[in-house]
Amino acid sequence: METINVKAFGTTAPDVDLAAMSIERRVITPKDVEIEILYCGVCHSDLHTARNDWGGTKYPSVPGHEIVGKVTKVGNEVTKYKARDLVAVGCMVDSCKTCSSCQQGFEQYCLNGMVGTYNGKDKHSGGHTFGGYSEKVVVDESFVLSVPANLDLAAAAPLLCAGITTWSPLRHWNVKEGSRVAVVGLGGLGHMAIKLAKGLGASVSLFSRTPGKTDDAKALGADEVIISTDEAQMKAAKGKFDLIIDTVPYVHDVNPYVATLNINGTLVLVGYLGPLEPMLHTVPMIMGRKSVAGSVIGGIAETQEMLDFCGKHNIVSDIEIINMQNINDAYERMLKSDVKYRFVIDMQSLKG
């Protein structure tokens, strides 16, 4: 396989800071699109992968799966894109395309394993994939997305993970005008859940442990903030919500939130990976046909739908732009929730 050398930023071990390195990208095949990366969002998954928090990280590791850029070359069989088009790449760059999940447009649930934008099994090289903390990326056209021209490109980058991760459950559970939606956690995912649910016409509430986020939540579009540590407020919210999107990325008790679901309501986990602690109480679920579910990103068609919706309603993420060289500091700040609400890397800084 013919390759080209590309500047990137990555790490060689879980306890080593990210630093400049060179990686190899394949030369475009007939179905490929080569993209100059302009901006790349910073996701919690980037940090967890770089530090091997979930196990299974392949090194060297180059994270980044919220990619916005400009097409520089296309293969001779590409029909969807041409040079200079503004495009995006999200959390996956390939799948089997033939299983029942892929055939339904749910490539993220590919029964044979979707290929992650980074740390996935590269079908072309036989090695592993490298993400968006790099100059350019080469992707099968089927996994490239169009970016609406009116959107701020930097602020659009987090839509490719934070946006689609919250959009997919909103669409699956049919949120519409008059729906009652609550969001747990006001971070990169949570702030997008509020914006998108509001854009769909829902009444939106934020669950927060402290009153300090009330003004921010309302500025993002929330109709109310419920303090989850206040027993009276939680009791008043009992049976209120059709859908709760739980974006909290660490162990927490979901039982108090289940009690606030209406009959047939669903609490969907999009932030935390791992065993639920303490144990889930089933009585409120049985007595109200309530559900606790999970969801991860979205399929390609669904992601394009989300981008088009954001273009129509001018919805983007609230971001702080950083240089590539500041990524290690950004990781430490992200662990302290010291960002409103997503870091985005200006990839021009990689060339400096």
CA distance 57 to 51: 8
Instruction: List pLDDT tens digits, range 249-276.
Output: 889 999 999 999 999 999 999 998 889 8
Q: What's 128's DSSP letter?
A: B
- Spatial neighbors of 210 by CB under 8 A, at least 6 apart, are 227, 229
Tally the C-alpha atoms within 13 A of residue 198's C-alpha that lie toward its C-beta.
22
Quick one: pLDDT at residue 327?
Answer: 98
| Fold classified for 162-294 | Rossmann fold (3.40.50)
Instruction: List pLDDT tens digits, range 135-154.
Output: 999 999 999 999 999 999 99
Whether the predicted pLDDT of 72 surpasses 90 = yes
Using pLDDT thresholds of 50, 70 and 90, give the confidence band for residue 351: confident
Quick one: pLDDT at residue 272?
Answer: 87
Label the pairing between strands 145-146 and 180-184: unpaired
Quick one: pLDDT at residue 273?
Answer: 85
**Burial tier of 314 (Cβ tally within 10 Å: 0-12, 13-18, 19+):** exposed
Higher pLDDT, 125 or 327: 327
Q: Would you tell me which CATH number, out of the four given (3.90.180.10, 3.10.310.30, 1.10.287.3510, 3.40.50.460), belongs to the domain 3-161+317-351?
A: 3.90.180.10
Annotated domain spans of the chain:
3-161+317-351, 162-294
Percentage of the chain exceeding pLDDT 90: 95
- Spatial neighbors of 232 by CB under 8 A, at least 6 apart, are none
Mean pLDDT estimate for the chain = 96
Quick one: pLDDT at residue 3?
Answer: 92
CA distance 299 to 172: 12
Task: Say if CB 150 and CB 311 are below 8 A apart.
Answer: yes
Token couple for 221: 């579009």
Q: How far from the centroid of its chain's Cα atoms is residue 97's Cα?
A: 21
Mapped onto helix, strand or coil, the DSSP state of residue 202 is: coil
- Per-residue burial over 284-301, b if 16 or more Cβ lie within 10 Å, else e, is bbeebebebeebebbbbe
Whether the predicted pLDDT of 55 surpasses 90 = yes
When pLDDT is averaged across residues 84-91 and rounded to a whole number, the result is 98
Token couple for 116: 């992650």
CA distance 16 to 59: 11
